[in-house]
A and B are shown apart, each in its own frame.
Chain A
């Protein structure tokens, strides 16, 4: 499978716990994006990387959220002290720079905070 891979596909956690998601982009893609999608809404931008550099963070990304891409390959998104409002689908996408029209999305990680 040469697409964007996300792990886990589903995560159920108790409020207050920390969770971490992983995204493996398409190998030659040096742009990586994180989006969040809640029920009945379109995906909303969270943050993106070019190689290992985090270029922008949305105001949606509170201090409890942190994303890394240490070697410019896979990325992790961590949520600390989860809240029920964090329940959503977390989507990762990758592209070549300047070719975001050809970005590919992963299948997402569905987070449920109980």
Chain B
């Protein structure tokens, strides 16, 4: 079992819809949970990170962590075609490395 599991998609939704992206993880020691966005042939860019359980909101993006279920989510409200990208969930290991999921390819249809 990989440490971080993420459905690769692709996920296609109409413009304006709410998008829900999810990951599960197996290592209960993870404390920091991150979401990156990666456009085609570009490096990942950090969207937001959360420490421990709870919600964090930044504009149209909300990150949610449920440590009891080892489940994290990213919600995108009022989705735009420019949100079309691969979204990578990631966690920080005890030895300070970023452990990534496979990424979910998201297409927002105009």
Give the total of B residues in contact with A, Cβ under 8 Å.
Answer: 24
Residues 32 to 61 of chain A near chain B (Cβ within 8 Å): 33, 35, 40-45, 48, 56
Q: Tell me, rounded to whole Å, the shortest Cβ–Cβ distance linking A29 to chain B.
A: 13
Contact with B100, one of A43, A48, A101, A106 (Cβ below 8 angstroms): A43
Given A40-B8, A41-B102, A45-B99: A105 touches B43 (CB 8 Å cut-off): yes
Is A91's CB under 8 angstroms from B43's CB?
A: yes
Number of A-B residue pairs having CB atoms within 8 Å of each other in the complex: 60
| Nearest chain A residue, comparing its CB with the CB of B90 | A42
Given A40-B102, A43-B100, A48-B97: A101 touches B34 (CB 8 Å cut-off): yes
Cα separation A107 to B45 with both chains bound (whole Å):
10
Contact with B88, one of A31, A42, A108 (Cβ below 8 angstroms): A42
Chain A residues near B44 (CB-CB < 8 A): 43, 91, 105
Asked if A88 is at the interface (CB within 8 A of a chain B CB), the reply is no
Is B49's CB under 8 angstroms from A42's CB?
A: no
Cα separation A44 to B93 with both chains bound (whole Å):
13
Asked if B42 is at the interface (CB within 8 A of a chain A CB), the reply is yes
Is B43's CB under 8 angstroms from A107's CB?
A: yes
Interface size class of A (residues with CB under 8 A): 20 to 34
Chain A residues near B45 (CB-CB < 8 A): 105
Contact with B46, one of A43, A97, A103 (Cβ below 8 angstroms): A103
| Nearest chain B residue, comparing its CB with the CB of A103 | B98
Asked if A100 is at the interface (CB within 8 A of a chain B CB), the reply is yes
| Nearest chain B residue, comparing its CB with the CB of A31 | B96
Chain B residues near A97 (CB-CB < 8 A): 96
- B residues sitting closer than 8 Å to A (CB atoms) are 4, 6, 8, 32, 34, 41-46, 49, 88, 90, 92, 95-103
In addition to A42-B103, A45-B99, A91-B43, 6 A-B residue pairs with Cβ atoms within 8 Å of each other are A42-B100, A43-B44, A56-B95, A100-B92, A102-B46, A104-B46
